[in-house]
Structure 1
Amino acid sequence: MTFAEILAEKGAEAGLSFTPLQLEQFSRYYELLVETNKVMNLTAITEPEEVAVKHMVDSLLAYEAEMAGKTLADVGTGAGFPGVPLKIYCPELKVTLIDSLGKRLRFLQQVIEELGVKGIRCEHLRAEDAGRDKKHREKYDYVTARAVARLSVLSEYCLPLAKKGGQFIALKGSKFAEEITEGEAAVKILGGKILSAEPVKLPGLDDGRAIIKIAKIKSTPAQYPRKAGTPEKQPLGAK
């Protein structure tokens, strides 16, 4: 089976359907990912079915119909997950990919150009610096992050970027409940409120993933995010 056929099949199992153009774009994205991964460490997952399920479908579980026409910042985007799949799936979504590593962003710029998608840009910034930059602070309807840090740390990276009334969506693994308990205090300090933690199941897998949705109910205090490196060393609300 081709990558497009695998993605169409696995996507259908997860309740997703794709247009021919989207399948073509996802296929090219996969080809570029595997090709570039030979010379740059982008992902440990390269088999077609694993990429389709664990990267593409997993990213799309964060999709909401309300995203059309809205702005989204993907923090610590890495190889582009979930930002690029969300953009392919929802062309009207305006996406900013934020990462601290320039070579990853050069790869993503190539992906953007080859896929011909508009309304998506790359920003070479640490999350803490983005959160203090007037161009990005409290400017986004949605902020996403996947496999970046524990929720107590991740909230300080992401919530400062979400506008009041916006939402931070964290794609999490099996320890999500523990992370919520540990991170609730940080979320509150930063102006957020945990709305839900929805367990999600990927086709053929049962590894306890979840989507955590956090509403931005008030502005983040001016002292946050703290300087680069501090959130990780001294997580907010840590006992």
Structure 2
Amino acid sequence: MNEQQFIEALRAKGIELSPTQIAQFRKYFELLVEWNEKMNLTAITEEKEVYLKHFYDSISAAFYYDFTKVTTVCDVGAGAGFPSLPIKICYPHLEVTIVDSLNKRITFLNHLSEELGFQNTNFVHARAEEFGQNKKYRETFDVVTARAVARLSVLSELCVPLVKQGGQFVALKAAAGQEELKDATQAIKLLGTTLVDSHEFTLPIEESERTLYVFDKVKNTPKKYPRKPGTPNKTPIQ
């Protein structure tokens, strides 16, 4: 998917990019490749693949979830900024907070944000488990999202504690989404959410399978969650 195909594909989904936004995506790609030479940000560096597998794939969440109706977004383990920063380019009003455990990624994200002229972005170096217990952030976000971070049973424990009551947890998953959802049933209920929307679709061109889940936060998360760093991954909620 080259730049023009990317622009047209988004237009077909009702997202019209301005010249400024197109330039931001171009700069994003350039900086991603430049910084990737000195630190491991992504295995995907070909322009057509970045536009499809990083930019378009991230924005696909907006085809099914209305980001115009929310303000504060937290992205857990976003790495090089996916999915939240491509979404931020399309919806500049969003106030985006990214938490990542590697400080070098935070350094990249701060530089990227400055170069792209973002406002209302916040990048925090922390383990997601500790971040979720921080009173400054816990249960404060309209929507919390994550892509390709962990299985849903683990991911829900890292993300749901950050969602305010009445907000949503939006999970971007690949083909194994249904299986992961089944495994995460108990965690989703225990943490205070309920599944309200799910969408299965394919990424254009390569036709790889994707699943998007939207969970409503219906009650506060018990204080013990998330547990200590590493625990959710070692012993997921059953």
Q: Do the structures match in fold with TM over 0.5?
A: yes
Question: How far apart in 2 are the matches of 1:236 and 1:39?
Answer: 37
**Farther-moved stretch of structure 1 (61-70 vs 186-195):** 61-70
Question: How far apart in 1 are the matches of 2:118 and 2:142?
Answer: 20
What letter corresponds to residue 206 of structure 1 in structure 2?
E
Aligned length: 236
Identity, in percent, stands at 48
Tell me by how many angstroms 1:66 deviates.
4.2
> TM (normalized to structure 1)?
0.94
Moved over 3 A (4+): 12-16, 64-69
Tell me by how many angstroms 1:39 deviates.
1.3
- Equivalent positions of 1:7-46 (< 5 A) are 7-12=6-11, 14-46=13-45
Equivalent residue, structure 2, for 1:164? 165
Equivalent residue, structure 2, for 1:209? 210
- Work out whether residues 68 and 91 of structure 1, in 8 Å CA contact, stay in contact via their aligned partners in 2: no
Question: How far apart in 2 are the matches of 1:217 and 1:144?
Answer: 17
Relative distance call for 1:15 and 1:54 in structure 2 (3 A) is farther
> TM (normalized to structure 2)?
0.95
**Farther-moved stretch of structure 1 (92-101 vs 67-76):** 67-76
Question: How far apart in 2 are the matches of 1:181 and 1:77?
Answer: 24
- Work out whether residues 129 and 227 of structure 1, in 8 Å CA contact, stay in contact via their aligned partners in 2: yes
- Equivalent positions of 1:213-228 (< 5 A) are 213-228=214-229
What letter corresponds to residue 189 of structure 1 in structure 2?
L
Tell me by how many angstroms 1:11 deviates.
2.8
CA deviations on 1:108-128 (whole Å, 9 max, x unpaired) are: 101000001101110111110
**Farther-moved stretch of structure 1 (206-215 vs 130-139):** 206-215
What letter corresponds to residue 205 of structure 2 in structure 1?
G
Tell me by how many angstroms 1:200 deviates.
2.2
What letter corresponds to residue 76 of structure 2 in structure 1?
V
Question: How far apart in 2 are the matches of 1:35 and 1:68?
Answer: 35
User: SS of 1:213's equivalent?
Assistant: strand
Question: How far apart in 2 are the matches of 1:13 and 1:53?
Answer: 15
- Work out whether residues 132 and 226 of structure 2, in 8 Å CA contact, stay in contact via their aligned partners in 1: yes
Tell me by how many angstroms 1:61 deviates.
1.3
Q: Structure 1: where are the runs of 5+ without partners?
A: none
Question: How far apart in 2 are the matches of 1:159 and 1:67?
Answer: 21
Tell me by how many angstroms 1:67 deviates.
3.7
- Equivalent positions of 1:64-79 (< 5 A) are 64-68=65-69, 70-79=71-80
**Farther-moved stretch of structure 1 (119-128 vs 150-159):** 119-128
